[in-house]
Structure 1
């Protein structure tokens, strides 16, 4: 239990960091950093830098996975990158939530240069920590039930971290703003920086707890590795047909979900005319996320992953249909949001566990093991879907007339149709295709994975490697556990 909770705390800080960076940083830029009429160009420069860096970095995720896989230290191969990447990312987060000691006004070009360098280091460091954290999963246990518990606790922590910031961000900013001399109800740069420092501490602290209390196993299956070059990294992915089908199904699902989620704030502001009610989204998703994640182990034992994935998409489709009928009805819209979000953690976990099991599948096919390269696919897909959705959301907002101080009554019927097409109709089609692909092409079931592990053990025993399974413990005075 100590290991499960420690892994969950790492995920908590990890996703609190991610949501702060992905959702709220641009709000800080537009509401606090550049607020004058002539600052539009600076906002554009900052936005362009972020998009270019994040999209460019996506291509390097498999290579980062290869670097992690090739690491060999006394602390294992994941922990140095997890704690080091988290520390650098935390420092970077605090820097970008500042004005660099007044450079935004005294020397804007120098600010842009320093911001670009900081964000590049921040994004790269976070990717190392992200890939290291999630690729620890197949190294923590070979047993299906234990893997499920680690994955479930991690998703529990990440749900609380990601959805919790939606609830606490405004009170936290107001609190720190007041502590640094602002009037009641006034947000300041210092308030935002105080909030960013808290998130950075949570991220680094969670990573430290994970590193101290979780230990990767060392056994004959995990020892079946070799140094992976840059070209070989992409060959490993290309040869794993089950990983590719899982990835394609998950990409369609993730992209449809992110587009819908990104347009939710527009829905509340320009369709419902009640931007303040958006806070309820954080409350509802946080509560439902906890319930959803807690139900995953029993559901997996009862109906297995494929049914969870496809059944979850069925529930989401019901949510979309209800959303279409909701129109400007707030209670009905909130119920629809609940139906849309509740299956999301379940589908995420079903995908995560399937990708985790594809490590052994790929090992059986290729003859050697690549944990981080394989697990790098999931964060790569999340980043890719997020980057594409950013562009889609901008286009939709302009096409629908949902910009500036427009009111719900200003949105034309054509604008509503444009908005509904991207928020509802296209995501529904993508979800259906995703479910069909996962149902028909993903053959890596829990039972098949158990047989693959047995085949690997038999094969490696036949090769004369009968080393007993132990855990790599960072405490050199401790006696290793035997499995």
Structure 2
């Protein structure tokens, strides 16, 4: 069944693998961050129509994830099960992203139809790349230390991509718009650059990774969608991890969306928004390479517990720091980000061991389907995190583009501090029940390897 992999994965392969996440961030994060603005302010689609479209695309995403996961698990090619999707998806992914930022001279309804077709096609293509890309970790190695190392490099590259998108894309779009004299051309050229670089990185990922954990058709050919329910019945670590993903992505979504309100209205310094946002991802440049060391020193559960506690402390500090003490606020933001980034980065390293556990319990290795399940749950977390801030702030009387009442400011503060802290506390409780420790995972891997001999 399984071909034993070497103890150490070369750093060039780790960089090759991580390049795939950098590619996805350069293309898809640019889309998710700026496409709504492009549609409403450049292409000329109404905000209401664009909002409905985004909701419909999210629903299609939720349906599409398990279908793609099942397809991936049934794939068998000379390039492996997961890498072919990177090879054949790279160029269509880039082309569709460019088309999303293209402004053909259609009428109002024609523009909307064009936007629907290109955005849905892009989202489906992204899923066809992202699900097998995530599952590729479990095929590169079963070694837990190597999985953690792979994931830490991947998260480092992902956060670098996030920084480029946050700071580089607006600057590039403005520069190209000024050069061409047209805002639409500036955005199209910007997306063309992101798309070409992203496609090249996906191909680099394909050529520099290897699927070592080879699984026979007997373990994948019989996989069907209803096996999801079997996994939920026997794979308790996966259930715990799915809940963890919902909570962490919910927290991230709340913190990221409400930060601009907190800085603009509570602190009263909208010019600090970009720096407040930067502190949300910049620590990753330092932290991600340290995760394998911290994991060996503390162990997975202690590392997650301390990370979550760090994030809770930093988040609740904002509740008591006066809004005039900007330096302390930014320091608290940094502390909260340190904990959140470590927990958010490390949780991806736990997915391959839940795949091993599921195979051990059911005799079926469902890498693609399990990653698709994780994708469904973290998208649910993002949706939850997107709904909560609006409901809370509205209930406290927030009104856009005006001086806020003391009650509204209090609502923004609670949404920035107490609500994320409650979610983080729930994550701390949830991870307590994750019982798949290092020794148990080693025993399971040994048993799987023995079956394959």
Q: Could you tell me which residue of structure 1 aligns to residue 96 of structure 2?
A: 92
- Would you say 1:455 and 2:439 are equivalent positions? no
Q: Where do 1:28-43 residues align within 5 Å?
A: 28-34=38-44, 42-43=46-47
Q: Could you tell me which residue of structure 2 aligns to residue 361 of structure 1?
A: 357
SS at match of 1:442: coil
- Would you say 1:11 and 2:21 are equivalent positions? yes
SS at match of 2:128: helix
> Deviation per CA, 1:313-338, whole angstroms, max 9, x where unpaired?
10111111221123433322221221
- CA shift, 1:151, in A, is 1.1
Distance 1:434 1:333 in 2: 24
Q: Could you tell me which residue of structure 2 aligns to residue 414 of structure 1?
A: 407
- Would you say 1:299 and 2:267 are equivalent positions? no
- Would you say 1:45 and 2:49 are equivalent positions? yes
- CA shift, 1:237, in A, is 4.2
CA contact (8 A) 1:16 1:203 kept: yes
Which of 283, 289, 292 pairs up with 1:288? 283
Q: Could you tell me which residue of structure 2 aligns to residue 239 of structure 1?
A: 234
Distance 1:289 1:396 in 2: 30
Q: Could you tell me which residue of structure 1 aligns to residue 307 of structure 2?
A: 312
Normalised TM-score (structure 2): 0.91
CA contact (8 A) 2:72 2:132 kept: yes
Q: Could you tell me which residue of structure 1 aligns to residue 381 of structure 2?
A: 385
Residues 20, 227 of structure 1: alpha-carbon distance in 2 compared, 3 angstrom cutoff: same
CA contact (8 A) 1:94 1:197 kept: yes
SS at match of 2:279: helix
- CA shift, 1:390, in A, is 2.7
Distance 1:281 1:143 in 2: 37
| Worse overlay, 254-263 or 378-387 | 378-387
SS at match of 1:344: helix
| Worse overlay, 160-169 or 209-218 | 160-169
Distance 2:26 2:239 in 1: 29
- CA shift, 1:173, in A, is 1.2
SS at match of 2:220: coil
Residues 29, 390 of structure 1: alpha-carbon distance in 2 compared, 3 angstrom cutoff: farther
CA RMSD of aligned residues (A): 2.1
Which of 30, 35, 39 pairs up with 1:25? 35
Q: How many pairs align?
A: 442
Distance 1:108 1:140 in 2: 48
Which of 423, 427, 433 pairs up with 1:434? 427
Distance 1:65 1:220 in 2: 16
SS at match of 1:60: helix
Q: Could you tell me which residue of structure 2 aligns to residue 479 of structure 1?
A: none
| Worse overlay, 17-26 or 4-13 | 17-26
Distance 2:117 2:220 in 1: 35
Normalised TM-score (structure 1): 0.86
- CA shift, 1:56, in A, is 3.5
- CA shift, 1:159, in A, is 0.9
